[in-house]
Amino acid sequence: MRHPSEGQLMTYADDALAAGDVERVRRHVQSCDRCARVLMVLTDRRASIASRMQSLSDASQVAHRPVSPQAARRRLGALEAQESREAGMPLLKTWFSKRYRPAWAALVIVMVLGLSLLSPPVRALAGNFLNLFRVQKIEVVAFDPVAVLGEGGFESAMSSLETVMDEQVTVSLSGEPQTVDEGTLRGLSSIRVRLPQGIEGEPHYVLQPAAAISVQVDLPRIQALLLELGYEDVDLPESLDGADVAVALNPLVVAAYGMCEPNTEAWAGAHGTSDFDGPCTVLMQMRSPTVSGPAGLDVDQLGQAYLQLLGMSAGEAQRFSEHLDWTATLVLPLPRTEVSYDELTVDGVTGVLIRPTHNRLPEDEYVLMWVKDDIVYGLSGIGSGTAAVQIANSLD
Amino acid sequence: MTTTWRRTIATAAGTGAPASDQYLAEELLQEALEQHWARVCRTLYHLVGDWSEAEDLAIEVFLRLHHHPPRDLERVSAWLYRVASNAGLNALRARKRRQSYETAAGQWTLQQQDPIDPVTELERRQDQAQVRAVLAAMRPRQAQLLFLRYLGLSYAELARVLEMAPGSVGTMLARAERAFERRYRAVEDKDATPK
């Protein structure tokens, strides 16, 4: 007779085997020393673990009574009211809030991944350092945080990531954000500023100076983090360890229209933040950031690892990567449980319209992103997608 | 496969919101609280060992139930077990980063409760801390399976809660127990090594 599997023996030991199989396994174990030994190991181990798990119960569990369901409902209501107030924050502001800051730090890494597929001649020209990545288009990879990391796993991962980022990422700002007039914006040499025409509301302009982000990669630390998060099959290139990666962020121009005032105090230390008091339409524009990294880095492997983190299998990541120009594409990860998106034509190119999935506001918030002539644009506000596209198409 | 992946994305990004995006009706939420609140709190207490934290986590679990209920409302009980055990294990993993917590909590409890046999109580606290540390370090799904099994769930219930094939529960449990024992022994060996 064929030996029962370890799983069948486990099920037998736990009295959970189908009635028809119990007798068959029992007879086999009586006549098979090998299976009898396996069964003994399983039952001994089970007894040992059971006694250890028993330590999790204690006398206070019997004595303690949790608050009543009615009291729990009241606490739930208070928490929901608080969340509802927070939901009133404009989407873009929410995204740039402290909670999501690690996600944007992660985006820096995403941009680093964009260094992939560098051809040898170009690499030779670049010498020891590469300075090649420029955003020309945006590609969205929607992922399901719950499916990838389990319930609550995304928040936990973000928290872990924040710790690692604190140690490995340095941000240097070249100045403080400041409110400026239209003339100053028009006179900027680093970017030809475009502004919407015919939009309602008094404009406010803010200029965020350039910033430099440097990442010194501690590979063992990152690998430990991945293991902690349950990723056991993601390979990162060894050459990444100790690598210095630099991201240069160009000045960011922000124009806000409507019933709002810029809150520049909240901007300090958070390049890219759009913090305005009140609901308004906000247009951001920035020349594409550049990423520099050491030569010889296997960025294609890195790119595929990144896609695996978002839930793709190794094979899927490889196939997806084949169709992606990493040197020119900003791969934007969007949690599909939080937002939905559509691709559409805007400003003569293909853009991405992103909306929150659980919007409890009477009108929809939106974020519209597109890239044209080396400039990355982001438009956020409240209203329909059509209205968003009209504003974007009106840029001078 | 890439095509499949893209199709999945497109479906998720479409305009039709899935059923799970609808709020659970108030009367169903009340009913769920009446039936499951105390049990969810107890489950979480087993994991985190602190009633206040357990109730905070339970509130978050029911908040999730209210905002993102399961598609099949017949399975609320199984869904709650899954989400609660996940929330508890996540809390343990977060706690791993504050390693002194368990010791401090254990000492505080000893002072407060003035147990009859402080040595036995201290040993029990150390055992608890070790079990929780091992669960936090295990692969999430294995830790969840093991914890729920020792909480008393049957194979059929485990299959329903963790949405796995009933026939694979035994195999998965055997692996989880092996992983638990390996990690537990590693911690014991480390503690026994002369400093």
* pLDDT tens, residue by residue, B114-169: 455 677 777 878 888 899 989 988 888 899 999 999 989 999 999 999 888 888 89
pLDDT given for residue A341 in this prediction:
79
Amino acid code (one letter) for B13: A
Between these two residues, B37 and A377, which has the higher pLDDT value? B37
Which residues partner with A346 through β-bridges? A349
Q: Do A76 and B63 touch (CB under 8 A)?
A: yes
Q: Is the pLDDT of residue A11 over 90?
A: yes
| Architecture per CATH, B23-97 | Orthogonal Bundle (1.10)
pLDDT given for residue A149 in this prediction:
62
Choose among B62, B87, B131: nearest Cβ to A151: B87
For an interface test with B, the pick among A5, A10, A57, A319 (most B C-beta atoms closer than 10 Å) comes out as: A10
pLDDT given for residue A224 in this prediction:
76
Choose among B47, B59, B155: nearest Cβ to A75: B59
Amino acid code (one letter) for A73: R
Q: Is the pLDDT of residue A81 over 50?
A: yes
Give the list of residues 6+ apart from residue A303 with CB closer than 8 angstroms, or none: A113, A114, A116, A317, A321, A324, A326, A331
Asked whether this complex has an ipTM greater than 0.85, the answer is no
For every residue of A39-71, DSSP letters joined together read: HHHHHHHHHHHHHHHHTT--HHHHH--PPPHHH
Give the list of residues 6+ apart from residue A261 with CB closer than 8 angstroms, or none: A204, A276, A277, A278
pLDDT given for residue A85 in this prediction:
53
Q: Do B54 and A66 touch (CB under 8 A)?
A: yes
Segment A146-205, tens digit of pLDDT: 666 665 665 566 566 656 666 666 767 677 778 889 899 888 888 899 999 988 777 888
Which residues partner with A286 through β-bridges? A252, A376
Q: Which residue has the tokens 């799983």?
A: A7
A91 neighbors A359 (Cβ within 8 angstroms): no
pLDDT given for residue A138 in this prediction:
65
b/e sequence A340-378, b meaning 16+ C-beta within 10 Å? bbbebebbeeebbbbbbeeeeeeebbbbbbbbbeebbbb
A389 pLDDT band (50/70/90 cuts)?
A: very high
pLDDT given for residue B36 in this prediction:
93
Chunked mean pLDDT (size 10), chain B, 195 residues: 22 28 75 93 90 91 86 85 90 66 43 58 83 89 93 92 89 92 82 61
pLDDT given for residue A269 in this prediction:
39
- CA of B194, closest CA in chain A: separation in Å? 24
Q: Which of A21-30, A139-148, A249-258, B22-31 has the highest mean pLDDT?
A: A21-30
Lowest mean pLDDT among A81-85, A340-344, B175-179: A81-85
A314 neighbors A305 (Cβ within 8 angstroms): no
Report chain B residues whose CB lies below 8 A from the CB of A46.
177
Choose among A14, A69, A230: nearest Cβ to B155: A14
Count of other CB atoms within 10 angstroms of residue A237: 16
Is residue A188 helix, strand or coil?
coil
CB-based contact, A186 to chain B, within 8 Å: no
Residue B163, both tokens = 């949405």
pLDDT given for residue A108 in this prediction:
43
Q: Which residue has the tokens 């608890």?
A: B128
Residue A35, both tokens = 């299976």
pLDDT given for residue A214 in this prediction:
75
What is the distance between the alpha carbons of residues A88 and A107, in angstroms, rounded to a whole number? 25
CB-based contact, A268 to chain B, within 8 Å: no
pLDDT given for residue A216 in this prediction:
76
Give the list of residues 6+ apart from residue A240 with CB closer than 8 angstroms, or none: A217, A219, A297, A302
Q: Is the pLDDT of residue A392 over 90?
A: yes
pLDDT given for residue A132 in this prediction:
35
Between these two residues, A180 and A317, which has the higher pLDDT value? A180
Q: Do A152 and B2 touch (CB under 8 A)?
A: no
- CA of A267, closest CA in chain B: separation in Å? 29
What letter does residue B163 receive in the DSSP assignment?
T
Between these two residues, A102 and A141, which has the higher pLDDT value? A141
A337 neighbors A146 (Cβ within 8 angstroms): yes
- The full length of chain B comes to 195
Residue B54, both tokens = 């357990």
A242 pLDDT band (50/70/90 cuts)?
A: confident
Segment A285-299, tens digit of pLDDT: 888 777 666 666 666
Q: Give domain limits for chain B.
A: 23-97, 138-187
Distances from the Cα of A126 to the Cα of A114, A120, A239, A293, angstroms: 16, 10, 18, 10
pLDDT given for residue B105 in this prediction:
45
- CA of B172, closest CA in chain A: separation in Å? 7
- CA of B191, closest CA in chain A: separation in Å? 17
Report chain A residues whose CB lies below 8 A from the CB of B174.
6-7, 9-10, 42
Count of other CB atoms within 10 angstroms of residue A240: 22
Is residue B98 helix, strand or coil?
coil
For every residue of A276-319, DSSP letters joined together read: EES-EEEEEEEEPPEEEEETT--HHHHHHHHHHHTT--HHHHHH
Lowest mean pLDDT among A11-15, A116-120, A175-179, A345-349: A116-120
